[in-house]
A = this chain, B = another copy of it.
Amino acid sequence: MPETKPLRRPLRRDGLTIGQIAARTGLAVSAIRYYESERLIAPWRNDAGQRRFERADIRRLSFIMIAQGLGASIAEIRTQLCRLPKGRTPTAADWRRLSEGYRKDLDRRITQLQKLRDDLDSCIGCGCLSLEHCTLYNPGDRAGAAGSGPRYLLGDSPGQS
Contact = CB atoms under 8 A, between A and B. Distances in A.
27 contacts: A26-B131, A58-B130, A62-B134, A63-B129, A66-B136, A68-B148, A69-B148, A70-B145, A70-B146, A71-B146, A71-B150, A71-B153, A71-B154, A75-B160, A76-B154, A92-B126, A96-B121, A96-B124, A104-B155, A105-B155, A109-B113, A110-B113, A143-B151, A144-B150, A146-B147, A148-B150, A149-B150
Contacts of A139: 69
A102 to B, nearest CB: 6
Interface residues of A, number: 74
Contacts of A95: 124-125, 129
B103 A107 contact: no
A117 interface: yes
A145 B55 CA distance: 26
A65 interface: yes
B63 A124 contact: yes
